[in-house]
Amino acid sequence: MDVALEKGEWLQWPASHHSAWLHVVQNAWFASNHRAARYGVNDVAHLDGARISTKSGFFCALGEAVNGPGGYFGSHLDALVDCISSSFGEGPPVKIV
């Protein structure tokens, strides 16, 4: 059974739990046959950094900005570069605002 996540759901947890949330989202993302890539068609992702206080929180917010609630977009800078630069070889690189 799939459970729909709400935007910003990861923010209900304290910052010390953001790495655990990122790990759960990552596992769920790959278990559903997704890759760490951009699935949306938008070439601009709007990232609200007002409540980001950890590296894991940044990647939680980025995954959500690019792929919607519960979306995953990598968890380290090398993955970030790969994901920003392509969407399975289709479309322009994503711009993060």
Residue-wise pLDDT for 78-93, tens only, equals 877 766 776 555 567 7
pTM (predicted TM-score): 0.82
Q: Is residue 6 part of a domain?
A: no
38, part of any domain: yes
pLDDT of residue 58: 92
7 in a structural domain: no
The per-residue pLDDT for 80 is: 78
Which range marks the domain in which residue 35 is found? 12-96
Q: Is 4 inside any structural domain?
A: no
Long-range contacts of 23-32 (CB under 8 A, 24+ apart): 25/60, 25/63, 25/70, 25/71, 25/72, 26/72, 26/75, 28/70, 28/72, 29/63, 29/70, 29/71, 29/72, 30/72
* pLDDT at res. 89: 54
Q: Looking at the 3D structure of the chain, how many domains does it have? A: 1
40: pLDDT confidence band, cut at 50, 70 and 90? low
